[in-house]
Amino acid sequence: MKHLQQAANLTRIRAMSMTHHSQLGHTGGDLSSADVLTCLYLGGILAVDPARPHWEQRDRFIMSKGHCSGAFYATLAARGFFPVEQLKTFMDPLSMLNGHPDRNKLPGVEANTGPLGHGAPIAVGAALAAKMRGEHWRVFVLTGDGELQEGSNWEAAMTAHHYKLDNLTVIVDRNRIQQGDFTENTIQMDPLAPKWSSFGFAVREVDGHNHEELMQVFQSLPLEPGKPTCIIANTVKGKGVSFAENKPAWHHGVPTREQLFMAAEELGVEVPW
């Protein structure tokens, strides 16, 4: 697990360097989602092949919270979908690394996301396709918690339950902060687990920063045969960087050069560029 922790922290500092470079980005959500992404891609959960990004039998991962592209791109690069060096071009003119992911530009991206509430329906469709074709790939989608305010997620949830999509796993990055404020001050999300279970999902709440817990739950999918899974990953927005932790202003805060070095020291890694 130690190597996963190191990898997650490397993803964190790379994402922050990218945000510093572009002076745009979503640091808070990058930091909260880094551990989930690391376990999926570098913990051996997802059956993907960087040499064949369109390999038909691959597991599908859809980054519905597309604004957290910093952590997502850093994870894809670490998994070998493109050179880590390329991360330096984040949001540069004509870069393949858009502010939000573009599947037609960047290998490893399954769906174009950015506007919220798009990932879950696409994931449902991909899971349905596997059932129709008798194939065994699995579909994972990572949503934000504020994102669940978009009704399309619940339309997708009803469909997933109706069609018994036990090859689908929805992961909620439950960091409790959205762009403007804490989620509960904006639109109350709690109680979140009963919402998903009442929609027919097998639900598990985990510490979204505990790699052992994450790996254990990912390795035991589906939680119940015949049911889609929802994993609520309780996380901390800005996790790992004290000045950013749990602060709404860091939803899309941009680190200064000095803050970048402070973050690196706290994370126990070096500033990459």
Partner 1 sequence: MVVAAPVETSAKTYDCREAYSRTLEEMAAQDKRVCAVVNDSVSSTKLKKFKELFPDRFVNVGIAEQNMVGVGAGLANGGMVPYVCGASCFLTARAMEQVKVDLGYSKWNVKLCGMSSGMAYGQLGATHHSIEDMAWTRIIPNLTVIVPADPLETEQVMRYSLRHDGPMFLRISRVPVPEVHDRGYQFTLGRAALMNDGDDVTIITNGILVARALQAAKLLEQRGIFARVLNMSSIKPLDYDAIIKAAKETRGIVTVEEALTAGGLGGAVAEVLALHHPAPMRMLGLPDVFAPTGSAEFLLDHFHLNADGMVNAALDLLGENK
Query: What residues line the site for partner 1 (CB under 8 A)?
Result: 56, 60, 102-104, 110-115, 117-118, 120-130, 132-133, 135, 137, 139, 151-152, 155-156, 158-159, 162-163
Q: How far is the CB of 128 from partner 1 (least distance, A)?
A: 6
Q: How far apart are CA 170 and CA 165, in angstroms?
A: 11
Q: Whose Cβ is closer to partner 1: residue 64's or residue 175's?
A: 64
Q: How far is the CB of 121 from partner 1 (least distance, A)?
A: 3
Q: How far is the CB of 137 from partner 1 (least distance, A)?
A: 8
Q: How far is the CB of 212 from partner 1 (least distance, A)?
A: 31
Q: How far is the CB of 254 from partner 1 (least distance, A)?
A: 25
Q: How far is the CB of 111 from partner 1 (least distance, A)?
A: 7
Q: Whose Cβ is closer to partner 1: residue 98's or residue 183's?
A: 98
Q: Whose Cβ is closer to partner 1: residue 60's or residue 211's?
A: 60
Q: Whose Cβ is closer to partner 1: residue 12's or residue 161's?
A: 161
Q: Whose Cβ is closer to partner 1: residue 27's or residue 159's?
A: 159
Q: Whose Cβ is closer to partner 1: residue 127's or residue 177's?
A: 127
Q: How far is the CB of 205 from partner 1 (least distance, A)?
A: 25
Q: Whose Cβ is closer to partner 1: residue 78's or residue 123's?
A: 123
Separation in Å, CA 225 to CA 160, 189, 260, 261: 13, 27, 45, 47
DSSP string, 44-98: T-S---TT-TT-TTPPEEEESSGGGHHHHHHHHHHHTSS-GGGGGGTT-TT-SS-
* Closest by Cα among 100, 89, 96 to 21: 89
